[in-house]
Chains A and B, each alone.
Chain A
Amino acid sequence: MFEKSLWVFHLNSGSCNGCDIEILNIFAPKQDVERFGIKLVGSPRHADAIAFTGPVTRECLPKVIEAFKAVPEPKIVLAIGSCACGGGIWYDTYAVIGGVKELYKILKEEYNIEPPTTIFIPGCPPKPEAIIYGAALARGVVEQKQKREIYVEELDEKTERDIVEILFGESTGTRHFLPQITVKNSEESKNEP
């Protein structure tokens, strides 16, 4: 989607700092992603991508939505850390909304905003290398690492579609990055060494 330099706005929605420090770390000399044209910007208006951390606390929610809306389309969201990906250990407490997907639901219901392309980078915190890999994935430089192969006895188009739908029932409508699913005939797998 973005062929040139990726400008990133760091949006902390109530994270513990672990992921935020690792984000800063990739701009430090060891990794130094500025040489790839990736840059942290101060204003959401300047950004192409959001480096999203934290489980979205209740107090933060209205402010996060404001910042989210301020980033111009098209945008990419890098959901960094377990909290951003799924809410982390506090996914269902009274004070937490529970990660980007829950945020998207609210955005969709209340503001009719379609979820942007999202890259999930799990880890508590993810290593800087993983964050860079995520950014590279956004650019299409590398392939997605998480893949899923499913074997069925009789393979036809309908079963394939059904399985994909069941596995990612809710997510199929959105533009999330999903694990690549390949449905294969179980006969084939037997032939493989």
Chain B
Amino acid sequence: MLIEILEKNGSKIIRHDENIIIALVSNKKLKKVAKELFDAGCYYATGVGVDERPKNGAFAMYHILNCEDEKRYVIIKTFAEELKIPSITPVICGANWAEREAMDMIGIEFEGHPEPERLIMPDDWPNGVYPLRKEFHYNQKVPAIEVKPKKRKKDPKIMEVPVGPFHPTLHEPESFELYIEGEKIVGASYRGFHVHRGLEKLAEERLTLNQVPFLAERICGICGFTHNCAYCQAVEDAAKIEVPERAEYIRTILLEVERLHSHLLWFGVACHLLGFDSGFMHTWRIREAFMDIAELLTGNRKTYGMNLVGGVRRDIDENKKKKLLEILDKTKKETKEILDNVAEMKELINRMEGVGVLPKKEAREIGVVGPVARASGIDTDIRRDHPYAAYGELDFKVPVYKEGDVLARFLVRYEETFESFWIVEQALDQMPQGEILNEDYELPEFAYGLGYTEAPRGEDVHFVITEGGNKLYRWRPRAPTYNNLPAVPIMLMGEKLADAPIIIASIDPCFSCTDHVAIIEKGRVCRCSLEEYLRLKR
């Protein structure tokens, strides 16, 4: 059906295979195509602006959509005519951030965008300097310009409560501003993207193909391995590289170990925020075992340095396997004990039940992913829908809850944790013998690749355009929090101030992932304004 929509509108199909359709759509038809694709059940994954002037003489915009029914990604490409492309944000609200990002990093203008404001760089960044254009060098120091803080209207009834950028509950430099009336939250704004480190430009200009995995790992200190896995898969997809089966299994094992430690970390933080500090201490004590596993398998507790394009760098031998199984056996019992205790505590359940509800309709519109989507009744999991690594050969369940509250998100993660134990055990058992790294490949010129993984927080999408040799033309990672964060104001609306920390934490936000490119979001978080959100809520 997707292909019919594209062909009907006269688009040129560039690539068409099992997982991915890439089509060139004309500027006039873009909005119509986007609308039809959205109605056909696609949600917006990400958008990528590319400076293609050296190749095609124009700027291009790629909108990447994920179709759950057909289990395929659709990439629609458009060229900018005199730097202008029609905006699809009025049709798909999830495109808001991506388009504004392209606006700031590349300098494309989106016609009809509801709020075409500066998004990307810091306030003191001069206008007209676009870091992702090819003539800009990664180490260029741009002098700051003077900025005056904007004046805001103040309502005497509404109080502002700033949270961040350095706040004891956050541990990351992001700032939330909550507007409260008495104890009730009536509005929220997020001003983030403090962690923009110029990663994409660095990869394009300074690093080579096999150095980027190590950079990708440093996007995030918690879910780094999924990022570099997604990157490697994107390049493997672009260059049609076959990965040895054993390497796929090793990747799977590490991905699941990462999910385990990430989920345990979240349980700890959630317990801490709910005032149950023993829970925090116990989960973090158990989590230490997974850090030991990571160190045993890879040599580092956090940044593993395992992936290369074409395979992995270190093998898992019998000795390690035996030790790993021993640790897993022990931790499984401990995890079950502590999490069951938490799930049976009435005080905790009362604080989570019915709090921070995200209805399915809004969840779909914004395009939330991962546990947040699954807690709102959307049955989605990249591991099952688009099998990568060795997931196609393993058996696991995907928990889905309809309630959409904090408790549902807790339970989704609870069930996933035990599924992860089961996946690691299976993978260790089924792992075939053989090579672990395929180095026999050549990188084609200007080929597209898409890599996707299910990170602990949701869907990770990496889009790659190769340059040939051992360089990349463009690399665009998109982290799950990028999609999940716009849903937070909906969850916060009408709740008590005391519940705000657990609601914000319930999406398991990872800001450093999201901020690999800088976007400043002020006052509003999605297409809808505060009033519109309030209306939605009622």
A187 within 8 A of B: no
| Cβ–Cβ contact A12 & B171, under 8 A | yes
A12 to chain B minimum Cβ distance, whole angstroms, is: 5
Using A14-B173, A21-B265, A29-B281 as known contacts, say yes or no to A125 and B221 having CB atoms under 8 A apart: yes
A69 to chain B minimum Cβ distance, whole angstroms, is: 13
| Cβ–Cβ contact B221 & A18, under 8 A | yes
B444 within 8 A of A: no
A88 to chain B minimum Cβ distance, whole angstroms, is: 7
Specify the main secondary structure of chain B where it touches its partner: loop
In the complex, besides A16-B512, A20-B171, A59-B195, 19 extra interface pairs with C-beta distance below 8 angstroms are: A10-B166, A12-B171, A16-B220, A28-B287, A28-B288, A29-B288, A40-B168, A57-B196, A58-B124, A59-B196, A63-B173, A67-B166, A89-B215, A90-B197, A90-B202, A93-B202, A94-B139, A124-B218, A124-B300
Which residue of B has the minimal Cβ distance to A20? B171
Using A29-B284, A94-B138, A124-B218 as known contacts, say yes or no to A14 and B165 having CB atoms under 8 A apart: no
| Cβ–Cβ contact A59 & B281, under 8 A | no
Q: What interface size band does chain A fall in? A: 35 or more
Contact partner, B220, options A12, A17, A54, A96, Cβ 8 Å: A17
Q: How many residues of B contact A (CB 8 A)?
A: 53
| Cβ–Cβ contact B168 & A42, under 8 A | yes
Give chain A residues whose Cβ lies under 8 Å from the Cβ of B195. Answer: 14-16, 54, 57, 59-60
Using A20-B172, A28-B281, A63-B165 as known contacts, say yes or no to A55 and B224 having CB atoms under 8 A apart: no
A28-65 interface bits toward B, Cβ cutoff 8 Å, 1 = contact, 0 = none: 11100000000011101000000000110111100100
| Cβ–Cβ contact B221 & A17, under 8 A | yes
B333 within 8 A of A: no
Give chain B residues whose Cβ lies under 8 Å from the Cβ of A89. Answer: 202, 214-215, 218
Contact partner, A125, options B215, B301, B515, B518, Cβ 8 Å: B301
B117 to chain A minimum Cβ distance, whole angstroms, is: 16
A181 within 8 A of B: no
B interface list, Cβ under 8 A from A: 121-122, 124-125, 131, 136, 138-142, 165-168, 171-173, 193-199, 201-202, 214-215, 218-222, 224, 265, 268, 281-282, 284-285, 287-288, 291, 300-303, 510, 512, 515, 518, 520
| Cβ–Cβ contact A127 & B301, under 8 A | yes
Which residue of A has the minimal Cβ distance to B291? A25
Give chain A residues whose Cβ lies under 8 Å from the Cβ of B303. Answer: 18, 124-125
Using A58-B122, A125-B301 as known contacts, say yes or no to A16 and B218 having CB atoms under 8 A apart: yes
A143 within 8 A of B: no
Contact partner, A93, options B201, B268, B285, B515, Cβ 8 Å: B201
Which residue of A has the minimal Cβ distance to B123? A59
A132 within 8 A of B: no
Using A17-B220, A125-B221 as known contacts, say yes or no to A93 and B139 having CB atoms under 8 A apart: yes
